[in-house]
Structure formats: C-alpha cells, structure tokens
A and B are shown apart, each in its own frame.
Chain A
C-alpha cells in the first residue's frame, strides 16, 4: 500500500500530468483571415448506448453552406476536458476551420467510462463525431457522409487521433502530439525486445502509470472506489500490469488501444510532434509510427520539440507547434501550395537550434563504435570479451536508483543529488574524453552477454554524458529498461536498444554506458539476483551521430572571427564594417513563430520602483493589440524592454521565437516608434530616413522610401532640415521611418500623440490596412477610444501590471450593461433579475426600464428568468463603452480587486 505521503505526491503528480497533457496542443488553420470571428455552440453529442459527450462546436463566420470549410476535431489530454483545448480551438476557428472539441467519455461532463482510446469505445465516439460533422451544412464534404476532417490532439488526444485514423478512413489528416505508438512499449518498455516491448513485455513504468491512473480514478463522482471512472476491462488491465504481470489479454488490450497494431490501415497524412523531455512517451514512440507510415508511403513528418510530459512546452514552443500543425492542415485539407514543412526536425539543446532533414535517420549519420574493455573502459578499440562486470539486485528491489520523476523532468529538473546509481547495483564503462563533438540524433545500441543467478534479469541501461568535471548527466532523464529471460546458466547475448536522443556529447566529455539493477520509476525485480555482464566478441556500443544542425557551426565561427577581425580593423584603420553584418543578417527568427511573446516581464529600478511587474501577453500575427493604461502604468517601459533598449529584471520577450537582447537581429523585422520622434535636426527629412535605413548596410531600394514619405505627407519640406519642422511633421516623419522596408510588425508608442484629428484618422486607416495585409501591430495608448476604434485586442495595464488581456470585443462585453424594458412590475423584475447568478447589480431607471450590470452573454438567461417568473419583456439591448470597462478595471485594482460596483445609476 502506498503511504499517505506517496499518495499525496501521486496526486500532485496527477495534477501536473493532467495540466501538461492538456496544454500541449495545437491550433490550426490559416489561409483565411486570422481575424475571422466565430460562434460557438455547446451541446451534448450521443455517440453510443449510454454515452453522450459534452462538446463545443466552433463555427467561423466564413464557413457557410455556400462556402463550407474543412473541420478539425481536437481531443484533450488524459484527465482533462474540452476546456483545455478551448484556446487552440478558438485560434483554429479564427483561421477558418470548423472545430469540434468533445470531452472524451469518462471525463469531465461526458458520461460513460474511460475507454483508453480503444476503438470500441473512444474510436466509436470519434466516428460518431465525424458523422455529426458530415451533417453540418457549413462543413465541406468529400462525399456523402464523409466530411473533410482532421483530428488533432496531444497525449491522450493524440492517441485518439492515431487510433481513429486507423479505424475511420474518412479522416483526412492527423496531428498527433506527444503520444504513443504502442501502449505496450510505452508502459512496459523492453529495450532487449526488437519491438521495444510489444513482443516480449518489459518493465512496468509504474510511477507515471500510477499518476495517470490516479487522475482517472480519483475523479469526483467515481462510483466504484477501485476503478473510478475506468471501464471494467481497462481497470482490470491496469490491475494486471501494476501487479507485475502482463497477461495475454492485457497485452491484447494495450495493443488495440495503439496505432501500432493497425498502422497499415492509416492512410491520412500524419504529423507527429514528440517531446524531447518525455519519459512517458519517449521519442522512440514517434519514431516507430514515423517509420511504419513512411514505409507504406503515407505522407508523414516528425518533429522533436523541446518539452513533453516531463517539462511543459514554452510559449514559443507552443506557437511553433501551432504554426507547424497549421501548415500541415492547410496543405492536406485545403490543398495550400505552401510546403507542410521538413519531414524531420529536431531541437538541439546545447545550441538551441533546430535541425531539419528530409528523413529520419538524418542522412549522413555516422556510427561511432566503442568496445567494452577491461577496467570499465569504453575503448575505441575492440571489445574485450573477458572483461566481466558483476552487479546485484537487492532483495525487494530497494534501495533503488533514481533517474527521473514524472512531471519533474529528467536530469534538467532534478538536483544532481537525486541522480544516483547505487554502486553495488551498477556496471559501467566510461570512454576517454571525446576529441570532437558527438552529436547524437537517434538511438545508440549495443550487444552484451548477460548471465544471472536466477536465469532472468531486469536491467536499466543508461547512456550518460560525463562532463569534464566528472559530473554525469543523463540526457533527458531517459532510461532503457530491459527484461531478459531464458538465461541458461551460461547466459546469452542480448541486443539492447538505448533511448532515442537528440543530445550532443561535447568535446572533452566522456560517454558512459551503465547497467543498473533498479530504478524507482519502474516496477523492477523483487528477487535477489546476481547479474554478470560483459561485451561480446561481436560488437560494443554503437552511437549514431548526425551532422550538426544546418552544418553551420563552421560558418558561425567564421562569422564570429570575421566580426572580431573587422572590429579590430575598424578601430585601427577605420575600414568599412558593413560587409560583416550582411553575413550575419540571415538569422532573424522563425517566420511562423508568434511575433511578440512577453513572459513574466518585470522591471525594478534601482530605487525599488516596480515599473513593470510580471507582465505577460502575446501578440499573434494579424492582430492589432493595444497596450492601454494611464500615463505611468508601464507601457513604454514594456515596449522598450521588448525592443532590447531596457534589460528586464526578470522574465523576457521573444520576437518571432527569438529571445530579445540588445540589438537582436530579429528587430530588423520591426518598425518602431517609441516616445516621439528621434531625428537629426541638421539633416533633411529625406536624409534622416535614408541614413537611418542604410545604417545597417541595408540597400536603399528595399526601404520603399517614396511610399513611406507619402505617408508622412511632408511635400517639399521633405528636403528641408528637420529643425524647421513643426511637431506634427516630425511625428509623421518618424512614423514614416517606422514603415521603411515594410516591416512585418509595427511597435508604436502613442502614435497619435500630437496629431490633429484628420491625421489621427489617417493613422488609424494606415494601421488597419497594415494588419489587413497579415502584418502585426502593437501600439500603446492612454486613450480608450483609440484602442476601441483601432485594435482587435487589448492589454490593459495599471501600475505596471496587466489587469486585463483579450479581444476588444471581450473587453467590451465585460463591462456591458444589459438594458431590459419590462413595462409593468419593474420592482418584481428587479428582484427576479437580482437573484440570477452572475448579475452584479440591477438598477431601476424608471419607466419600466432596468439596467442590469451583467455580461452581455447572459441575455438569454436573464430573459428566461423573467419569462419563467411570468413577467413580460418588452425590449432587451446591450450598451457597452470601453470607457466604463476601463474605469471599472482600473478602479477595481485601485481598491485591491474589490468586487461589486453597487447600484450606481
């Protein structure tokens, strides 16, 4: 029995896991204007006897019976619900896809029992969901009853997408994020089995499985304490594996819940995104699906991203996943000509770069072979079959080694002290310091000869990266468990596949292969056992190494050395420096990444003044985001930090996926206007712009100078010195400067300050036109009307903090007042309305008119309440003004979030 402490830890883990699973995904779409509005409909979808799913349908305004749109079903993570993928679905709908988000059976408000993505349970539900979409007139059809539909999801949702695609041939594309190929290999991995554990079951991943099972079993409303909301057969299978067994029935069930067993039936183009920080569903899971689909000619791409079940994806990571998924669906659902992306890409942790390749394994991969020699040495020479090492499995399997803790990440998340292999339980071989980087992208393997006192053995193989200081690091916390049986007294040769990794063993580091008898995350062998391991005559450890991403390290060094040399030259002989900068100009962020992501941004000045305090928001492509707040609320400081002018005290800003530092090259994609113009008074307007543009060596033709000057509208004055300009002229010239080179994103600080009304109008047109081209604008203003008229989204700041963030429409709805004209009995009506949940205040303004302080979305509820009370409703209208909302928000913060605005008229 687990101790209470263990149980508490498991509970915390379950929460963490559920949170991770829920957030992994995915929003899709493009092609259509990303600013498209959509409507949502919540409904219950009956799918099978006794099962109705709680579902939400998102319909973009562009999808009509005349112009039907493709659809996407998004599944959520284990222990979660449709609510977890709401933001993803909304984003997707804004890109013109009809989106359906059902809560899986057994979770949330859906009925039924947890079906583990089995085809007879969740598979049926998915087919019913597709049937439902086929009946919707705004969904595009490929044939009668066959909608144009994709399935996406992370973890449990990803499993559903893959299993669904193997059972329902109407599914046209799949995006599966951090999910399994086979639950057998994921939960009972066996590195000694060529099939990874599907053939011969391995060692139960009890820590993770326990956390997951707990999150399903401990749902409120669980009928039976033991099984919670699990279906009986699923529950029985769990009981079986957690007791250390794996009966054929259990293995058959795990197999049916996996795409592995029906890979041949999958025809839908499949995008696989797997996390490099994931000990639950490691990279090898995606690799098996990828290789199977590729072998049968199905279009498939695989992404190894930073993050996973052990470490949540970063905001920029999520936005990259969204962009990738969008490109995939645009290509395969809409026939967009844009490439759906490289067939394989991986994240290289040491350099932070992303490598791409036309296939996996990466073409040009070499294999470095080490021999297991005497004295625990991993030699570059041949294996010494006489060099035997012995290790012991303690009775009861305790104490055990710790390699990873679910949800906390592998090595990266753990203090070094936790990572320990008890010496008596360990056999290891360590190489000499490497003379060159070993860039592993793939799985190493080795052959060893194993014998044991019990005739079988459970071992955990680990590939360590030993730093020059002797500290051993376990890349991504990955362990390869193996269970070998049938070891006659003489023992036998075993081929071991080590974890699939993307990891660079740096020059001077050592490679270590260790075999350990126990691991806390797994249900190991409880019998005392003495195991002997030696290399075989055949071969030792083989490590695949790919060419370094982009192969550009040499080039980078060349550029770096070039910059240094040029610096020396420039200061000595003052020779031109332009050329060097051109060479480094290529690196300007990821084209698809979110333009601006601000995370936890904080600025504390020396005097303790917190000018900006934990500000987070994102500006997506095509949005016009208004940073709204009174003077001194931290808007300008935020913008300056976004531009690398001020160094944040904490947090950071990513522009197009690239972290901002002073002078970051990605800034060249931005047009900026910060706190008024900055012009050289002795130069003419034209010269100011030309010299500024050319200051980085950019070609003048790329500036589109004349178009920008047209915006400034200075006429002949453009050739006069700026010192003769009026304030408005300088302002317009500075805005023209921001537009030079048609940047992808504009950052404008109080752009309309000092302009007269016609110019303000022109400015707004300009900004809206800019966003309509798919470009992005972030502007700050202390004028509410400005933001209300110009922006699609608003970030409201007060005293350095964000107090609201969302679409302007949402902001308006927030403070909306519903006006209801009831005619007779206004007092009774007021009492009825006052009792409705969510109503903040009701004011009788006379003449039978009531003003209800409640969100506009509550109108139906209010009307129903009145009608049910037998009262008449003459008229219902909504009145909203950003001004009121803003004062509400600001006022609320000023008094410490005190809620309730009383009954002011």
Chain B
C-alpha cells in the first residue's frame, strides 16, 4: 500500500494534478477579490456571496470544482491505476512477482481512493484558507439571505465536501472498471469522464421523466440543500442511496473481470 503510494506520488502527473487542485481555489479567490463585488446580480448564486467570508469562498470553490475538475481528477487517479501499469508492461511483472490479482486491485483502488479523497479535501481547505486571507474570518451568508455562525458554516462545508466525495465514488468506480479493461490509461479516464458528462446531459432532458432519477449524476448537486436552514435531507439521502449501486456494481465487475482476465499487456 505505502509502496504503491510511493510509486504514484513520484509521478509528475500526480504533482501537476495536485498543483491544479491547490491552484484553482487560489485562482478563484484571487479573481473574485481583484474583480470585486457581486457578479451580474442573479439571486441564489453562490458566486454572489463568495466574497462575504472565507467559508463562502470555500463553498463557491467546491461548486466550481465539483462539476468538472474533480470529475476529471478522480477519473484520472482511478482510470490510470491499472491501465498505466498495463501500458508500461509492468502489470505482468507485478502479477508474477506474484502479487495476487485481488490484492493488486485492492491496493490500486485504495491508493486511487486516497488520492481522490485528498483532492476533494484540498479544494475547500485551500478555498477556505485563501478566502479567509482575502475576505476575513466571519460568519457565512447564504445566497438566499440567511446566515450561519462560523461553527455551523464549517460543519455544513465539511458535510458538503463529504457528500461530494461520495458522489464522486461513482466516477472512481467507473474509471476503475474501465482501467481493468483497457491497456490505454487515456481510454479509461476518458471513458469515465464521457460517461459522467452523458449522464449530466441526459439529466437535462426533462422528457425522460422519472428515468432521470436513476442517473448516477441526478443528485450530484443536492449538497446545495445544506445552505438552507433547516436542512432538507430527502434529496441528499436519495443521492447517497443511489451512489451505492453505482459504485458497488462497477467495482464488483472490475474485481470479477480482472480476476479471470487474460493479461496480454
């Protein structure tokens, strides 16, 4: 596990990704601070209140990152996990070392998950730090005119981050599945991202009706409910429940498939 982490951490790809994940909140906070004032005055947008406090800034960074950046980052950590070994030709050498296939997948999955969780954590943490520097340590405001104490604000921020982490587990699982099936890391990463985007697009087609409820991304932004008081938990609960099969099924298939597959790379 630690060795695998070591192998991944020494990769340039990992540095660049984390640099991006750290840089984005700083960039957002900087641009808001420099650009100044609310945006175009639309009600209910997080961006309108982003400059009210550090916590507000962190919330906005989360919203900005969770739609696409974090999807790509998580897809990359997971999609690259096995496929990159296959593309280097090192997968066969690990398997004949011998590392049992299940154990290899488990460790790969654990490291991908660890890196992904770290990225998901970094966004609000860096956003909070940069926002506090720029806008001060004070209670948070909601886009709808409400306000939280600092303590409640931090709690809600942590809960939102956790919810996003669970939602992204779906991306992790899909990318990991693709990673066990292809020798091209890009295909695995791209496949997971495309699947996510397609799901988001389908979610916009209202004529699909109730079918949309079963899309993996349908409840992705339900964490915005955390900004209301009291918090309506229904959608988030459904979101958590829907994330379970969408995560477990691809992972189960990945383990089942990889265990019996002919390693030809």
- Give A contacts to B, CB under 8 Å: 567, 570-571, 574-577, 581, 640, 643-647, 662-665, 667-668, 670, 672, 674-683, 687, 691-692, 694-696, 734, 737
Contact of A643 among B12, B85, B88, B96 (CB under 8 A): B96
Decide if B42 is an interface residue (CB 8 Å cutoff): no
Q: Shortest Cβ distance from A362 into chain B, in angstroms?
A: 33
Contact in complex: A646, B88 (CB < 8 Å): no
Determine whether the beta carbon of B89 is less than 8 Å from that of A678: yes
A682 to B3, CA, bound (A): 15
Q: Is B88's CB under 8 angstroms from A571's CB?
A: no
Chain A residues with Cβ under 8 A from B4's Cβ? 695
Q: How far is the CA of A677 from the CA of B93 in the complex (A)?
A: 9
The minimal Cβ–Cβ distance linking B90 to chain A, given in whole angstroms, is 4
- B4 CB to closest chain A CB, in angstroms? 8
- Do the beta carbons of B89 and A677 come within 8 Å of each other? yes
A609 to B265, CA, bound (A): 18
Q: Closest CB-CB distance, A844 to chain B, in whole Å?
A: 53
* A-B CB contact pairs (8 Å), 26 listed: A574-B1, A576-B1, A576-B2, A577-B107, A640-B262, A643-B95, A645-B264, A646-B262, A662-B100, A662-B259, A664-B98, A667-B98, A668-B98, A670-B96, A672-B96, A674-B92, A676-B89, A678-B91, A679-B88, A679-B89, A680-B88, A682-B10, A682-B11, A683-B7, A683-B10, A692-B93
A647: contacting residue among B11, B95, B262, CB under 8 A: B262
Which residue of chain A is the closest to B5 with respect to CB atoms?
A574
On whether the beta carbons of B1 and A570 are closer than 8 Å, the reply is: yes
Instruction: Give Cα distance in the complex from A799 to B108, angstroms.
Output: 37
A573's nearest neighbour on chain B, judged by CB, is: B110
Query: Which residue of chain B has its CB nearest to the CB of A577?
Result: B1
Residue in B10, B96, B107, B264 whose CB lies within 8 Å of A570: B107
Q: Nearest-CB distance from A576 to chain B (Å)?
A: 6
Which chain B residues in 54-72 approach chain A with CB under 8 Å?
Answer: none
Q: Judging by beta carbons under 8 Å apart, are B109 and A667 in contact?
A: no
Q: Does B201 contact A (CB under 8 A)?
A: no
User: Closest chain A residue to B14 by CB distance?
Assistant: A682
Contact B96 A645 (CB under 8 A): yes
Q: A670-B96, A683-B10 are in contact. Are A570 and B106 (CB under 8 A)?
A: yes
Q: Are A696 and B88 in contact, with the CB atoms below 8 A?
A: no
**In the bound complex, how far is the Cα of B172 from the Cα of A219, in angstroms?**
73
* Inter-chain contacts of A567 with B (CB < 8 A): 102-103, 106
Which residues of chain B are within 8 angstroms of A577 by Cβ–Cβ distance? 1, 103, 106-107
Closest to B94 in A: A695
Q: Bound complex: CA of A665 vs CA of B3, how far in Å?
A: 20
Q: Are B3 and A640 in contact (CB under 8 A)?
A: no
Q: Is B210 an interface residue (CB 8 A)?
A: no
A682 touches B98 (CB 8 A): no
Chain A residues near B264 (CB-CB < 8 A)? 640, 645-646
B96 contacts A667, CB within 8 Å? yes
Sample of 19 further A-B pairs with CB below 8 A, known A643-B92, A691-B7: A571-B106, A574-B1, A576-B1, A581-B103, A640-B92, A647-B260, A662-B98, A663-B101, A668-B97, A672-B93, A674-B92, A674-B96, A678-B85, A678-B88, A678-B93, A679-B90, A683-B7, A692-B94, A695-B97
| Secondary structure call for the B interface | helix
Chain B residues closer than 8 Å to A691, beta-carbon distance:
3, 6-7
Q: Which residues of chain A have C-beta atoms less than 8 A from B97's C-beta?
A: 667-668, 692, 695-696
B99: Cβ under 8 A from any A Cβ: yes
B263 interface hit (Cβ, 8 Å): yes
Contact check, A645 vs B263: say whether CB atoms are below 8 A apart. Answer: yes
B114 close to A (CB within 8 Å): yes
Assess whether A644 is in contact with B96, with CB atoms less than 8 Å apart: yes
Measured CB to CB, the closest approach of chain B to A638, in angstroms, equals 13
> Could you tell me if B99 and A663 are in contact, using CB atoms closer than 8 angstroms?
yes
User: Would B91 and A663 count as touching, CB distance under 8 A?
Assistant: no
Chain A residues, Cβ within 8 Å of B107: 570, 577
List chain A residues, Cβ under 8 A from B12: 682
Shortest B167–chain A CB gap in Å is: 19
Interface pair B90/A680, CB less than 8 Å apart? yes
Residues of A within 8 A of B114 (CB): 574
The answer on a CB contact under 8 Å between B98 and A675 is: no
* 9 nearest CB pairs, A to B: A678-B89, A663-B100, A678-B90, A667-B98, A646-B262, A645-B263, A663-B98, A678-B93, A643-B96
Question: How many interface residues does B have (CB within 8 Å)?
Answer: 37
Docked complex Cα distance between A179 and B262 (Å): 45
A696 to B98 CA separation, bound complex (whole angstroms)? 7
Taking the nearest CB of chain B, how far is it from the CB of A703, in angstroms? 12
Q: Please report which residues of chain B, range 131-178, place their CB below 8 angstroms from some CB of chain A when the two chains form the complex.
A: none
> A737: which of B93, B102, B262 is its contact (CB, 8 Å)?
B93
Query: How many A-B pairs with Cβ below 8 Å?
Result: 109
CB distance from A579 to the nearest CB of B (A): 11
A333 to B6, CA, bound (A): 55
Contact A646-B263, Cβ < 8 Å, known A570-B110, A672-B93, A696-B97? yes
Residue of B nearest to A670 (CB): B96
**Looking across the interface, which residue of chain A has its beta carbon closest to that of B100?**
A663
With contact pairs A570-B106, A681-B88 given, residues A644 and B1 touching in the complex (Cβ less than 8 Å): no
B214 to chain A, nearest CB (A): 26
Q: In the complex, A307 Cα to B262 Cα: how many Å?
A: 33
Within the complex, the shortest CB–CB distance from B198 to chain A, in Å, comes to: 28
Q: In whole angstroms, what is the CA distance A567 to B90 when docked? A: 23
Q: Mark B73-87, 1 if CB is under 8 A from A, else 0.
A: 000000000000100
B2 proximity list for chain A (CB < 8 A): 576
Which single residue of chain B is at the shortest CB-CB distance from A678?
B89
Q: How far is the CA of A570 from the CA of B100 in the complex (A)?
A: 15
Interface residues of B in 1-28 (CB under 8 A from A): 1-4, 6-7, 10-12
Contact B99 A695 (CB under 8 A): yes
Chain A nearest CB: distance from B70 CB in Å?
20
Shortest CB-to-CB span from B185 to chain A, Å, is 13
Chain B residues near A571 (CB, 8 Å)? 106, 109-110
Pair A696/B263 contact, Cβ less than 8 Å: no
Minimum Cβ distance to chain B for residue A309 (Å): 38
A587 CB to nearest chain B CB (Å): 12
Q: CA–CA, A408 to B206, complex, Å?
A: 70
Residues of A within 8 A of B96 (CB): 643-645, 667, 670, 672, 674
Closest to B110 in A: A574
Closest to A668 in B: B98
Residue of B nearest to A684 (CB): B10
Contacts of A670 in B (CB 8 A): 96
Closest to B13 in A: A682
Question: Closest CB-CB distance, A475 to chain B, in whole Å?
Answer: 34
**A681 neighbours in B (Cβ, 8 Å):** 88
Which residues of chain B have C-beta atoms less than 8 A from A675's C-beta?
A: 89, 92
B103 pairs with A678, CB closer than 8 A: no
Bound complex: CA of A695 vs CA of B12, how far in Å?
21
A645 in contact with B7 (CB, 8 Å)? no
Chain B residues contacting A667 (CB-CB under 8 Å) are 96-98
Contacts of A676 in B (CB 8 A): 89
- Docked CA distance A679–B92 (Å): 11
In the complex, which residues of chain B have a beta carbon less than 8 angstroms from the beta carbon of A692?
90, 93-94, 97
Shortest Cβ distance from residue A830 to the other chain B in the assembled complex, whole angstroms: 53
Residues in B with CB closer than 8 Å to A576 are 1-2
Provide the bound-state CA to CA distance between A645 and B92, in Å.
7
Which chain A positions have C-beta within 8 A of B94? 692, 695
List, in ascending order, chain B residues with CB within 8 A of A664's CB: 98
Measured CB to CB, the closest approach of chain B to A726, in angstroms, equals 16
A847 to B97, CA, bound (A): 61
Choose among A571, A662, A667 the residue with the greatest number of B CB atoms under 10 Å from its CB.
A662
Q: How far is the CA of A627 from the CA of B166 in the complex (A)?
A: 51
Q: Is the CB of A662 within 8 A of B101?
A: yes
Q: Chain B residues with Cβ under 8 A from A581's Cβ?
A: 103
Return the chain A residue nearest B261 by Cβ: A647
A734 to B94, CA, bound (A): 13
- B111: shortest Cβ distance to chain A, in Å? 8
Contacts of B95 in A (CB 8 A): 643-645, 662-663
A577 to B10, CA, bound (A): 21
Taking A576-B1, A691-B3, A692-B93 as contacts, is the C-beta distance between A645 and B98 under 8 angstroms? no
